[in-house]
Structure 1
């Protein structure tokens, strides 16, 4: 067996790349080091079959992947917003460490703080250790940082295709809208991305690869061809759990932080007869992107790499579809933090389910460990391979989600604890209240529970990075301005 440490490109004492290319070691390299295929789905909540988040969900390809993988049913984003969530995953650093709380240009991440200045992006780490790297679509917030991949297949601007006029929701500050459009799957950018990465999988590679495919749907606008709407007949669509005045028992700062005036509210959707239409459109968008996932997985199965490739599928955060009177992400409640995380190692142990609280921040060290690479000591996430070996293994950790400076949610198997920057709190017992309808934070009998959960709060609360900007609400817009950041909508 080859000595892994000495065989890695870029490690001390390694043979030169030229020597490798002129030897039979390349064949051994391809056998020794697993490939990685990372599938990223934008704004995907738990409405997929393996997570049973909605009874109408139809995701046969994600279901098939989960049938030979470990599904983490209690996985949470480190931030409930695309930009900071993806920056955290790619750097292996928490938002509270970097100050990246809002969106950030891909090439500004390293300039965001002292902590990110010398960070090595996840793809770069594999690249530095002898892997060929390729990506397409939305991987970082916009595209990919310059030089982070060997090959990049590009991404359309925005989240098109777009109509000349929106169907229903005309607020210019948001992509939010819903309806059947365009006519064919081939007109959707995700379809092109799936085929681009499928072509890469059909290519003969002379060394291990790390590939990432970033899909746009179900990010708004919820536009997909009519056939995906037909898969979810409107009369059969079930509405999510919702109660009026759900926010009556949350602190005032929670209402400010989660106020997104550009989005429709559930009250508006009910009064105007659009709630079921929106649910149908989101379900249709999820089913469409599932078909794109299927294109890639089918290509992998037909390739020479099927038996030596780790597959990981994740969403960058969750999404409210009417729960708590919102159609948005950008909150610290379960709907916005919980997201799919499915990991299939090269040598899978079959279908497994773990309810241990984990974070997308854990992806970096997990993939590094799974592929036998040296540990990156700057990673702040935790290696999940013990849970891949035993999904019920002892796990004393909590998942932490941060939304703006000093606003955190702590998630365990039983509780969600939220503390805001002014000290206000929320507490929910998920064994009794999965919908988070009853805030227990002011109940004296839970004082000790809160103290224990507070031990998981970040030790560092970095100020807003001047390189970030926020495009969600007036409260955080003012925060970015105060921090000297761009503060643009």
Structure 2
């Protein structure tokens, strides 16, 4: 009997010791990272703006799990340079990546800023993580060998119906077509089922991998293709938004009368639907309806990811970050596009959830997507990367300190910058012309106050935040979508003007 008693005590102590050891290992292990990018998503989601009563229960769910930034801004209002900036931790003005750059050409010996840069997923790999990625994370997918395990990306933004509308604002002028790219801008209910969407397959890949066992902590990237045009999702998502209930964004027909010439050149986008055309044709509400339907579809897929994470063994030790590469205008400033230095083009969602962050917190201070890299490092307990040009947002999320001192810079071509601080936006173009908006009285940016002496001191203060380094365009970076940027690169780089090879910006 005594032998049995002592054996029981020994087994109990050993079991307790093993449990204690496992618990300690779990507590001391590095957190996993779920890195979610949504293409072309503006701030209409319900945790931020709740535009036209948008239905996004899973964005709400994620917001309740952590911190939502309602005033986050991208470093370029275009997918390629925006994503390159986030993944390198460098501003476009530092790297010269102002336009579209092939994923494998972002880091190359000829670019002094990026030749030895460590991409965000690589930094995690170097610090003991197993890295995985699928979908659109860099401009196309990712440079070769960035991830230990890659699911790749379905080419394009399909699936596409046999008969398409495809907006074409060029008319019959062949010469005009040669100067501009062409988008896949279109809208409608297609295909029949969610399972036919590439994003659904990407989520299947993520769900399956969340069921696996890993010997190391993991970094997993998921890049959604929607809500990028064409605005196609199954009919059931359109059914959530009856046309008679659709709101349209604020619009003023003479809004651009006080914009400098370069601002007008940048906004010269005949390949996109104009707001005036959308009004006259009766398509405006239909485009907004399609965009909202796409948001709700992405929300559904996000819910599948959150469900899989919550039912996995990684639920309590995983950091989530969700972000978009830029905003999107749905009629504001006269068009349906990103491609601008105004509020609706630079502002995009940014949400974090992590074991050591507050839950259900919202922060209105202006911040940068550039801060994602250093923030993830701090949340993961990894050493800071000295090349990062932005600060971690962890102190802001945990304590709210320095909220009044935050700002965000967006760049669109060499020496074209905008600075956003709480309540104000300042834009300075390469020729020194300016825009200034007081968001306290003019949230729609309808009145350019750059010449109003009332704001001289504020403008000078914001001017001091402009980047001090403005390198020329990287040779492999280009934007042949419209003529201003073709001429701009040739001029600032001292290049002989070459025939324009027109490629769409949206791939």
TM-score interval, normalised by the smaller of the two chains = over 0.9
Q: Distance in 1 between matches of 2:213 and 2:55?
A: 34
> Displacement, 1:367?
0.4
Q: Distance in 1 between matches of 2:501 and 2:111?
A: 17
Aligned counterpart, 1:64: 61
> Displacement, 1:161?
0.8
Aligned counterpart, 1:264: 273
Which residues of 2 match residues 291-370 of structure 1 at below 5 A?
291-370=300-379
1:224-245 deviations in Å (ceiling 9; x for gaps): 0000000111111011111111
Q: Distance in 2 between matches of 1:212 and 1:168?
A: 31
Q: Distance in 2 between matches of 1:476 and 1:230?
A: 40
Q: Distance in 1 between matches of 2:166 and 2:458?
A: 45
Q: 1:241 to 1:57 in 2, by over 3 A?
A: same
Q: 1:421 to 1:26 in 2, by over 3 A?
A: farther
Contact 1:83/1:140, CA 8 A, preserved across alignment: yes
Aligned counterpart, 1:273: 282
Matched, 1:35 2:54: no
Aligned counterpart, 2:176: none
Aligned counterpart, 1:145: 143
The alignment partner of 1:446 has SS state of helix
Contact 1:352/1:391, CA 8 A, preserved across alignment: no
The alignment partner of 1:100 has SS state of coil
Aligned counterpart, 2:129: 131
Whose radius of gyration is greater, 1 or 2? Answer: 2
- Structure 2: give runs of 5+ residues left out of the alignment: 1-20, 170-180
Contact 2:182/2:481, CA 8 A, preserved across alignment: no
Contact 1:317/1:337, CA 8 A, preserved across alignment: yes
The alignment partner of 1:223 has SS state of strand
Which residues of 2 match residues 444-459 of structure 1 at below 5 A?
444-459=453-468
Aligned counterpart, 2:210: 201
Aligned counterpart, 1:443: 452
Contact 1:29/1:207, CA 8 A, preserved across alignment: no
> Displacement, 1:206?
1.1
> Displacement, 1:480?
3.3
- Structure 1: give runs of 5+ residues left out of the alignment: 1-23
Contact 1:481/1:487, CA 8 A, preserved across alignment: no
Q: Distance in 2 between matches of 1:454 and 1:205?
A: 49
Q: 1:122 to 1:30 in 2, by over 3 A?
A: farther
Q: Distance in 1 between matches of 2:231 and 2:400?
A: 34
Aligned counterpart, 1:473: 482
Q: Distance in 2 between matches of 1:74 and 1:240?
A: 18
Q: Distance in 1 between matches of 2:454 and 2:325?
A: 35
Matched, 1:406 2:415: yes
Aligned counterpart, 1:161: 159
Contact 2:166/2:184, CA 8 A, preserved across alignment: no
> Displacement, 1:52?
1.2
Q: Distance in 2 between matches of 1:323 and 1:331?
A: 11
Contact 2:168/2:271, CA 8 A, preserved across alignment: no
Aligned counterpart, 2:97: 100
Contact 1:356/1:392, CA 8 A, preserved across alignment: no
Q: Distance in 1 between matches of 2:376 and 2:430?
A: 33
Q: 1:237 to 1:392 in 2, by over 3 A?
A: farther
1:356-400 deviations in Å (ceiling 9; x for gaps): 111000000110111011111000011100111023644423100
> Displacement, 1:481?
4.0
Root-mean-square deviation (Å): 1.8
The alignment partner of 1:117 has SS state of coil
Contact 1:369/1:375, CA 8 A, preserved across alignment: yes
1:221 paired residue among 206, 227, 230 = 230
Aligned counterpart, 1:184: 193
Q: Distance in 2 between matches of 1:99 and 1:447?
A: 30
1:398-457 deviations in Å (ceiling 9; x for gaps): 100000000001001110000000101001111111111111101112111110010110
Which residues of 2 match residues 80-119 of structure 1 at below 5 A?
80-111=77-108, 113-119=111-117
> Displacement, 1:26?
12
Q: 1:326 to 1:199 in 2, by over 3 A?
A: same
Q: 1:280 to 1:40 in 2, by over 3 A?
A: same
> Displacement, 1:342?
0.4
1:269-316 deviations in Å (ceiling 9; x for gaps): 111110000000000011101111111111001100010001010011
> Displacement, 1:25?
9.6
Which residues of 2 match residues 412-451 of structure 1 at below 5 A?
412-451=421-460
1:6-47 deviations in Å (ceiling 9; x for gaps): xxxxxxxxxxxxxxxxxx999837842111101100000001
Matched, 1:77 2:86: no
The alignment partner of 1:469 has SS state of coil
Q: 1:460 to 1:365 in 2, by over 3 A?
A: same
> Displacement, 1:198?
1.1
Query: Which deviates more, 174-183 or 157-166?
Result: 157-166
Q: 1:487 to 1:419 in 2, by over 3 A?
A: farther
Aligned counterpart, 1:12: none
Q: Distance in 2 between matches of 1:72 and 1:92?
A: 19
The alignment partner of 1:311 has SS state of strand
